[in-house]
Amino acid sequence: MNDYVVAISEDPYVYKEDSGINIQENLNLKKGTRFELIKEISQGVCIHEPRGMVRIGDKHYVITLEPKYGWVLKREKLSYLNYEYSNTDKHKYASAVNNFGVTQQMVDHYLTTYVKEDGSLKSDIHRLNRHRDSDLVVFINKIVQDFVDEDMRQFEASTHSKFYLDFYLMLSLYKPRRSQRFQGKITMYKDHQALLDEKETAFKAGRAFSIMFPYLDAAQIGIMVDSYRTMFAPREFELHTSMESKDFVWAYKHEHCKYQDPDTSMTRKSLAVSCMRGSGFDHLDHHPAEFYASGDFMIVWLTTHDGFIGARCVVRLPHIKYSTYKKDGVLQYPFDYDVVPHIAAPVYGTCDTSINMIEEYLDSIGADRSSHFGGWLGAKVLALTNGHNDRYFGAYIDIEPRMLSRVGKYLIIDDDGDLSAEDTGGTVGNYYEYYCYNCDQGLDDYDQHYSEATGNSYCETCYYDIHTTCQHCDDSCLNEDIITAYRRSTRIRTINETPTREEYTLDMDICTDCSENEFVYCEEQDEHWRYDDVQHIEDEGIDVPIHLLGDSGFKETEDGEYTREGE
């Protein structure tokens, strides 16, 4: 109750009351006399007359007013503190706080909220979004830094920045924000009384800065005002629409104007978060946004006067939807149709103004901008093949479902489609972990065949087209590294009902490793033979398959060597 006193709007009657309290008579109460109301008394001689027990100084009174005047409550003027927390030589950084007016209680509350026991600042004090116009506070914070004495804004773990303590206290009192009604003005509470009365004032930027920073000189305030105008100038955009491929690409790819943190929702998004923006797709043959240029969509975009993109939105053009009502499997109204209006994707923008402007345009053409599920079902986009099977250049589709089916030269947005447009890498379709190096077929881990020799993955068919398994060591090798070689083997054949053991020659595919280590090249036969199956002829320096020694004219000598007859 300390904040309030009762003043009397007209001269009252003062009665002596039998209330057990020492009532002083002959009180000279006049209109406007201030006193503290202890309690209002409703019962009495005349119930129509409001009466109250009051204290003036240390004396109690009961006063009665004519019914028509009643009690007038007024806030008591507070006694303000001379806040000198950052008491420097000049006291200057605390001056805005003192000009506003703070009580001890307010200062105590502030300090306990933001200063730790060891005297250092809690990091929470720098959380700019707790201010009601955080963009403005970010701006002010940034620009004022340049004008503040270096030693006053030092951060150290053990000591706190005196400047910041005063700076944020000042902001929490004046609560500045950009005016919504008066373009360019700054709305704030001019002093503590205005805050109590909830009366805000919209000041010109220069005036507002002078109030908040009384320690800055005119030139510094001038710099702030100029920067403020540049930063927060109302933006003017020009709106364009097109169905052409190059314009889809331009609107997606061209540089944006500066971001001003727009309010976002399901249908309003900041361009800063769009994964499809910018020049990240330059390496692709087609920009992903090109696929919208199918004739079913248009791009709506804004440019600034200096040519930057302010916002964009992809919109499905109106389309005809025929009745699909069936009875016993038969279409009942095959010629009935509805014309469905434009259906917009979420609007991506750099600021509220730009998003609002596109939304207004969409409203003006009667577009549905709820981005509801299924709004784009049946619409077609271009099937821009990118070499891989089942894979096309295309953007992440903003409206669900994000599934597509290939129909001729188009992809149709289709809930049951087998191609996905959820990828933000610039392509849509089925994504495989591997693609056959040879024929580009998409492959999962279990059906890809990796070649040690080439370092590439192949489908099964292509793999075995170019690889052969060495029948000696079982390694899989490139065909060019495989040769035919021979060895002798035995088998049992039944001849005239008698099982007979016979030798025969087996040809096999072997790798070059095996041919060098386990096989021998026989010059006369021009064949590779297994090492165990050949005889080395010292005399001639050649190797001959053992079973061919006789046929080739070799005879074994007494010392186990072989020589050719007659030599």
Binding site for Zn ion (CB under 5 A): 436, 438-439, 459, 462, 470, 472-473, 511, 514
Give me the helices (H) in 21-103, please: 95-100
Residue/partner pairs of 22-28 with CB below 8 Å, 24 or more apart: 22/59, 22/60, 23/60, 23/61, 23/62, 24/59, 24/60, 24/61, 27/56, 27/61
Question: Would you say 462 or 544 has its CB closer to Zn ion?
Answer: 462
Question: Would you say 380 or 467 has its CB closer to Zn ion?
Answer: 467
Question: Would you say 344 or 436 has its CB closer to Zn ion?
Answer: 436
Question: Would you say 179 or 515 has its CB closer to Zn ion?
Answer: 515
The CB-of-440 to Zn ion minimum distance in angstroms stands at 7
Question: Would you say 233 or 439 has its CB closer to Zn ion?
Answer: 439
Q: In what order do the strands lie in the sheet with 13-15?
A: 13-15, 59-64, 51-56, 34-41, 4-7, 72-75
Question: Would you say 380 or 472 has its CB closer to Zn ion?
Answer: 472
Contacts of 77 (CB under 8 A, 6+ apart): none
CA distance 103 to 169: 12
Question: Would you say 469 or 525 has its CB closer to Zn ion?
Answer: 469
The CB-of-386 to Zn ion minimum distance in angstroms stands at 17
The CB-of-448 to Zn ion minimum distance in angstroms stands at 10
Question: Would you say 100 or 529 has its CB closer to Zn ion?
Answer: 529
Question: Would you say 186 or 436 has its CB closer to Zn ion?
Answer: 436
Question: Would you say 170 or 511 has its CB closer to Zn ion?
Answer: 511
The CB-of-513 to Zn ion minimum distance in angstroms stands at 5
Tokens describing residue 37: 């109301």
The CB-of-437 to Zn ion minimum distance in angstroms stands at 8
The CB-of-461 to Zn ion minimum distance in angstroms stands at 6
Question: Would you say 273 or 473 has its CB closer to Zn ion?
Answer: 473
The CB-of-454 to Zn ion minimum distance in angstroms stands at 13
DSSP result, 137-188 = HHHHHHHHHTTS-GGGS---SSS--HHHHHHHHHHHHH--EE-SSSTT-EEE
Dihedral sign (CA 477, 481, 482, 487): negative
Question: Would you say 407 or 439 has its CB closer to Zn ion?
Answer: 439
Tokens describing residue 423: 């990828």
Of 163, 182, 159, the C-alpha closest to 90 is 163
Strands 419-420 and 403-407: antiparallel
CA distance 8 to 35: 9
| 8 A C-beta contact, residue 205 and residue 225 | yes
Residue/partner pairs of 282-288 with CB below 8 Å, 24 or more apart: 284/386, 284/393, 284/426, 284/427, 285/384, 285/386, 285/393, 286/384, 286/386, 286/393, 287/248, 287/249, 287/252, 287/253, 287/393, 287/426, 288/252, 288/393, 288/394, 288/395, 288/396, 288/426, 288/427, 288/428
Of 387, 380, 460, the C-alpha closest to 417 is 380
Residue 415 DSSP label: T
3-state secondary structure of 471: coil
Output the 3-class SS for 253-313.
Answer: HCCECCCCCCCCCCCEEEHHHCCCCCCCCCCCCCCHHHHHCCCCEEEEEEEECCCCEEEEE
CA distance 481 to 502: 32
Question: Would you say 412 or 436 has its CB closer to Zn ion?
Answer: 436
The CB-of-378 to Zn ion minimum distance in angstroms stands at 35
The CB-of-543 to Zn ion minimum distance in angstroms stands at 19
Beta bridge partners of 34: 7
Question: Would you say 96 or 462 has its CB closer to Zn ion?
Answer: 462
The CB-of-490 to Zn ion minimum distance in angstroms stands at 22
Contacts of 192 (CB under 8 A, 6+ apart): 78, 80, 100, 101, 102, 173
The CB-of-439 to Zn ion minimum distance in angstroms stands at 3
The CB-of-478 to Zn ion minimum distance in angstroms stands at 12
CA distance 253 to 408: 28
The CB-of-514 to Zn ion minimum distance in angstroms stands at 3
Whole-number Cα distances in Å, 336 to 223, 321, 325, 339, 439:
66, 9, 10, 10, 47
The CB-of-560 to Zn ion minimum distance in angstroms stands at 31
